[in-house]
Amino acid sequence: MEVLKIATAGSVDDGKSTLIGRLLYDTKSITTDKLEAIEKSSKKKGYDYLDFSLATDGLVAEREQGITIDVAHIYFSTNKKSYIVADTPGHIEYTRNMVTGASTAQASIILIDARKGVIEQTYRHFFINNLLRVKEIVVAINKMDLVNYSQKIFDEIVGDFKELQRKSEFKDQTIKFIPVSALWGENIANKSEAMPWYTGETILQYLEGLRSEDFNEVTPARFSVQTVVRPKSESHHDFRGYAGRITGSSFKVGDEVTILPSLTSSTIEKIHFFDEEFEEAPAGSSVTITLTDEVNVTRGDIIVKSGEAPEGTKSLNAVVCWMDMKALQPGTKYILQHNTQNMAVKIDAIHENISTDYSGNSIVSSLKLNDIGKVGLKLSKPLFADAYKNNKANGKFILIDAHTNNTAGAGFII
């Protein structure tokens, strides 16, 4: 079945949890016992409505404070698709969690409270979705019931959002505006009767209609080797296969390939998946490839089609979202993980801090937790990466603090 990964961001006040609860409820993905548990907890807290956040805020600390702190993953499905929702907090102090949640998303739902319109938080959500180049955005204008289902208010908010859209550098994106009331289930899975002026799709209809071409990008094929399969058994004595996951586009048997960083060439002999062989394997599939020549290939090497190899470089500029308590300073060293390879890097310069509300960039000397900025890096060996805007899969990296082993930052190569 087709899988669609969605990110949502927002605070409890936006009705984000209610919206997710609605999607679960209307697709019959929430079971009676879970519903009863929510009812019981809602009553105990003295609410006269069902507080769906109690189902998604999985940690005691979150339920105590009534806020989402960490990313939760929620699942629902229809006959057409399986949906994986990364539910993230919306406040500025949780920017890293928003980036984390959106980093695997193919579509995003941005919530706007119809009474408040486009606010600073909307800017930030939109900015992060653009940074990550999420192609499909649903802007759900919620709480329409509290503004008398006014078309005028809806239109104004759409107008304001389109203003914002003009500031974005990422143009290959589809934005769909839908007026909803999550509380009453209007235009979530079922059409609202209170808004006859809106003749478009409900949120679920829209998501159901998305095809994988809409949310996946086609880019040059890349194959980062994870591990070498050498059975050394009698029946497979000379077998040497390269295991990894294909990104970008498909590989075929007979493709002439170049192995990076050694720049040696070979040809794809066979594509194995478990006990079968295939002539072609698509992007996204985890396969084992054998080559016609005995070449030296190890973990971290990248196999690409000859003529499509990215340039190797020992210095690069990237946008970095900082995720660590210890600020990022020029001159410090980290471990850079680019898909399956690791290398030492030195922070050469911090060029500027990018404000997530489109208010302009500022010159800074360090990046603090939740800051996003432009950074120059010096690498210990050549990296064969793409720019993130040309190839998401081969244009991203993480920075690891060698002393704490923590994932300290996420990077997007410029």
Site for another protein in 56-75 (CB under 8 A): 56-61, 63, 69-75
- Cα–Cα distance measured from residue 213 to residue 385, given in angstroms and rounded to the nearest whole number: 24
Give residues with Cβ within 8 angstroms of 25, minimum separation 6.
Answer: 35, 185
Give residues with Cβ within 8 angstroms of 292, minimum separation 6.
Answer: 266, 267, 268, 269
Should residue 291 be labelled a site residue for another protein when binding is judged by CB under 8 A? Answer: no
User: In whole angstroms, how far apart are CA 391 and each of 218, 249, 280?
Assistant: 8, 11, 21
Which among 67, 85, 68 is positioned nearest to 30, based on CA atoms? Answer: 85
Give residues with Cβ within 8 angstroms of 307, minimum separation 6.
Answer: none
Q: Which is nearer to another protein, 59 or 146 (CB)?
A: 59
For another protein, the binding residue among 16, 125, 176, 272 (CB under 8 A) is: 272
For another protein, the binding residue among 158, 243, 319, 414 (CB under 8 A) is: 243
Should residue 281 be labelled a site residue for another protein when binding is judged by CB under 8 A? Answer: yes
Should residue 254 be labelled a site residue for another protein when binding is judged by CB under 8 A? Answer: no
Q: Please tell me whether the peptide bond between 261 and the residue prior to it is cis, using omega within 30 degrees of 0.
A: yes
Q: How far is the CB of 385 from another protein (least distance, A)?
A: 13
For another protein, the binding residue among 178, 268, 328, 398 (CB under 8 A) is: 398
Number of residues lying near another protein (CB under 8 A): 78
Should residue 78 be labelled a site residue for another protein when binding is judged by CB under 8 A? Answer: no
Q: How far is the CB of 102 from another protein (least distance, A)?
A: 10
x/- mask, another protein, residues 80-119, rule CB under 8 A, reads --x-x-----------xx-xx--xx---------------
Stretch that binds another protein, among 119-127, 171-179, 228-236, 350-358 (CB under 8 A): 228-236
Q: How far is the CB of 388 from another protein (least distance, A)?
A: 10
DSSP per-residue codes, 27-63: TT-S-HHHHHHHHHHHHHTT-SS--THHHH--SHHHH
Should residue 296 be labelled a site residue for another protein when binding is judged by CB under 8 A? Answer: no
Tokens describing residue 142: 């919620």
Should residue 278 be labelled a site residue for another protein when binding is judged by CB under 8 A? Answer: yes
Q: Which is nearer to another protein, 159 or 282 (CB)?
A: 282
Looking from the CA of 57 toward its CB, the CA atoms found within 13 Å total: 22
- Cα–Cα distance measured from residue 178 to residue 108, given in angstroms and rounded to the nearest whole number: 13
